[in-house]
Chain A
């Protein structure tokens, strides 16, 4: 039985000329696990919302959507509420009530169940999801991961037959995210609920999927099982590969006739076979000169050159940010959060702090931004103690801080006004925020072209996608011409395409002499764009090394590409490294 059938569905938002969805076909079998992927703004969310009448956007529709054989619009609201569960992106905003137990019961109350039934269902859900421990708590005491789990549980309490999840983990840290996705998978496996999911973190979900749909520009461009998708996308030569799991990305970069690998384990086996093949070929050509050793050598050379780039900074140069023996705690009675931290960040480098939740990374950033003050130790920026700067000196033209949530910077109705707001309006007059001899128009134009906002200037900041909002926030911060840029989780909730753009912007900024310190959970991003990486643990930086060296040396805290290929190319950290390694092999 098909749970959802979509036939030639098209959708046009009011006052728009380009359809958001064009002739989409989709069939979801009951009990299957379906992953829908595509770049931000490709129409994924629009499509998902159409699968539940109360959430569907208004606009011009054609084609049809059937739910278990009946036209969706004819399925009454009560049935839809109970049977089609929908989990949205933001964990916080979906929670309606103040108590965990009340939230779990919310949907059941709406459906008008009596107390005994609700009590049973709620108890069942709390046990299944392991919520008992915080059952009586207030929701604001929960962590992000717990909140999203609560949202899932309160939807599951209504016993839906179809569960739709719209980027449910984009606001969570990696550990909470994989826990959440694991739970979704468990529901699919144990209860047989049909799951339709969109995700950025495809590494975790693609291997489990029964069916993958790829969308681009409102159309379905490919569908099939995960490995079929790998092959199809490769044939299409589509840049959607960027969002796929690392083994699939490597696969896309290498000539191969084998089946597309999905997980790190499969990827390693695939790579082994490929290399064997190549070796055999090489043997046939009788040019077999122990390729392996020389191969790693060449990769070595590469990392050597990167290392050189970072080592150009001489020792006597004043570090841009210097922390010495910093100790910090929030209140006298509470334990220390930052413990004897010492750190140097050199001028014009991208320094990434990685590490688990609650280890004190964000606190450190707040200390450098002078939002909090250490009770022991000192911070120097460009060789001058941080306490000696005035607010004006520090925050205007020197230190820029990108908050984790870009929305906390948006003030005006359009992107353009919002940018001008940052430099005290459109009037050409000098102020603290804008003290240089340059017309504001030019300044804004420069920043807009750097951050690629030109097409979005008349939009409302809240209408932008996650990645675009991130760029707008960055543009606003950059208008103050910072020489040091602090970024808290810049890649949270944005897809790989935007990450790439963001990474390139950051690179460009360092060329202009900006020093960037970022904290991130995103290992892949750090591997690709950071010059040096420090591992934060228990209030201190355990180690800091050039990025490649750092990731090549770790066995768990490293990129998927490295985990997949470490036997063959121990120094390869990014997808490009692995592909380059294989290419070098081919050339031999």
Chain B
């Protein structure tokens, strides 16, 4: 609830969703090391920004790193393609190509998980419901009702269990067979209750005109100008990237020999990689940019507030001047300096 607000999260859900789709798809289908590295850095910085150092480090050390290690080792142990044999195991030769590909695969997994953790923070359920409600309007209401019912059921189960516990019939009372019987009773009470109350809900829906033709769908999201700009920038960057990919800067091959496109760097490959960098760092940079503008604003505020004491004392009229800044449109058109009477004179 009291999460720090994030600039990218405040964008339109469609922008959020398509951004994540784009980054994830590119990360998962291109095994180019440079692109992956950039993608990793972008995801990592954004995740840290969203969740803080500790959470990201903890999660990755405990879950992702072990998984990565396993994948990185399993691949060369069972796959023996490649020309550069390093040493032999019981299963066969271990090649450089297989090891490299194992590492690439593992990092791909790692990066995808990192992006998904950002996705989870940004795409809350109501954004998801909204997006897919657009595609299938009925689904949006159904999902919304489901999200309503689950906590309601939970609360009710607690009430019923307490009630039953007090007559000695909760699942925590008695022996196994009784426990099961009491559990079933609780379930049956819950279902009767739910069905009975569903009548109320349906009454309430019909009373408010559900079922009339031409139902519309309202949302609190609004595709504003910033979303247009953001979409434009992202589309432009994506265009550059795709062009680059088309020319083979994203080409990567690990079997039988390692071949990486775009390296050594040429001006065109640099441009492609830069564009990709901007895409990956986009949410992070947007956040930084917002922070920066807030800092500037704060500075301004502080300058307004902390005027030196000698100025403060002398100017009792300064407050009035500040008040005067919110002038009306007519005042502005007339030069703003005019008094109230003056504006009228000017008008006629």
Q: Which residues of A contact B (CB under 8 A)?
A: 52, 54-55, 77-78, 81-82, 85-86, 88, 90, 92-99, 101-102, 105-115, 118-119, 122, 136, 138-140, 151, 154-155, 158, 366, 369, 371, 391-392, 394-396, 399-401, 403-405, 407-411, 422, 432-433, 462, 476-477, 480, 486
The reply on B299 being an interface residue by CB < 8 A is: no
The reply on B148 being an interface residue by CB < 8 A is: yes
B169-196 with Cβ < 8 A to chain A: 173-174, 185, 188-189, 192-193, 196
Q: Which residue of A lies closest to B205 (CB)?
A: A96
Name the distance in Å between A468's Cβ and chain B's nearest Cβ: 15
- Asked if B166 contacts A403 (CB within 8 A), the reply is yes
Q: Which of B145, B151, B218 contacts A119 (CB 8 A)?
A: B218
Q: Which residues of A contact B213 (CB under 8 A)?
A: 112
Instruction: State A95–B151 Cα separation when bound (angstroms).
Output: 13
Q: Which residues of B contact A (CB under 8 A)?
A: 126, 141, 144-145, 147-148, 151-152, 155-156, 159-160, 162-168, 173-174, 185, 188-189, 192-193, 196-197, 200-201, 203-220
**Given A82-B209, A403-B163, A93-B218 contact (CB < 8 Å):** no
- Asked if B206 contacts A476 (CB within 8 A), the reply is no
Name the distance in Å between A228's Cβ and chain B's nearest Cβ: 32
Q: Which of B168, B201, B215 contacts A93 (CB 8 A)?
A: B201
Instruction: State A403–B209 Cα separation when bound (angstroms).
Output: 35
Q: Which residue of A lies closest to B143 (CB)?
A: A98
**Given A113-B216, A392-B168, A139-B188 contact (CB < 8 Å):** no
**Given A112-B212, A408-B163, A411-B188, A140-B155 contact (CB < 8 Å):** yes
Instruction: State A113–B214 Cα separation when bound (angstroms).
Output: 9
- Asked if A140 contacts B152 (CB within 8 A), the reply is yes
Instruction: State A467–B252 Cα separation when bound (angstroms).
Output: 76
Q: Which residue of A lies closest to B214 (CB)?
A: A112
- Asked if A422 contacts B167 (CB within 8 A), the reply is yes
Q: Which of B148, B173, B214 contacts A139 (CB 8 A)?
A: B148
Instruction: State A158–B212 Cα separation when bound (angstroms).
Output: 14
Q: Which residues of A contact B141 (CB under 8 A)?
A: 97
At the interface, is chain A mostly helix, strand, loop or mixed?
Answer: helix
- Asked if B148 contacts A110 (CB within 8 A), the reply is no
Q: Which residue of B lies closest to A108 (CB)?
A: B218
Jot down 22 A-B pairs with beta carbons below 8 A, ordered by A: A78-B209, A78-B212, A86-B204, A88-B200, A94-B203, A96-B201, A97-B145, A107-B209, A108-B218, A109-B215, A112-B215, A140-B152, A155-B208, A158-B208, A158-B209, A369-B166, A400-B166, A404-B159, A407-B193, A411-B192, A433-B168, A476-B167
Instruction: State A457–B300 Cα separation when bound (angstroms).
Output: 77
Instruction: State A136–B196 Cα separation when bound (angstroms).
Output: 29
Q: Which residues of A contact B145 (CB under 8 A)?
A: 96-98
**Given A96-B145, A408-B159, A77-B166 contact (CB < 8 Å):** no
Name the distance in Å between A185's Cβ and chain B's nearest Cβ: 22
Q: Which of B188, B207, B217 contacts A52 (CB 8 A)?
A: B207
Q: Which residues of A contact B204 (CB under 8 A)?
A: 86, 88, 93-96, 151
Q: Which residues of B contact A102 (CB under 8 A)?
A: 144, 218
Name the distance in Å between A81's Cβ and chain B's nearest Cβ: 3
Instruction: State A110–B173 Cα separation when bound (angstroms).
Output: 48
Name the distance in Å between A214's Cβ and chain B's nearest Cβ: 26
Q: Which residues of B contact A136 (CB under 8 A)?
A: 220
Instruction: State A110–B211 Cα separation when bound (angstroms).
Output: 7
- Asked if A77 contacts B200 (CB within 8 A), the reply is no
Q: Which of B152, B164, B212 contacts A110 (CB 8 A)?
A: B212
Q: Which residue of B lies closest to A136 (CB)?
A: B220
Q: Given A109-B215, A407-B193, 15 other A-B contacts at CB below 8 A?
A: A55-B207, A77-B209, A77-B212, A88-B204, A96-B201, A102-B218, A110-B209, A112-B214, A118-B218, A140-B155, A407-B196, A408-B193, A409-B167, A410-B189, A422-B167
Q: Which residues of B contact A98 (CB under 8 A)?
A: 126, 144-145, 147-148
Instruction: State A401–B217 Cα separation when bound (angstroms).
Output: 46
- Asked if B168 contacts A432 (CB within 8 A), the reply is yes
Instruction: State A118–B220 Cα separation when bound (angstroms).
Output: 10
**Given A109-B217, A110-B211, A409-B163 contact (CB < 8 Å):** yes
Q: Which residue of A lies closest to B190 (CB)?
A: A408
Q: Which residues of A contact B155 (CB under 8 A)?
A: 140
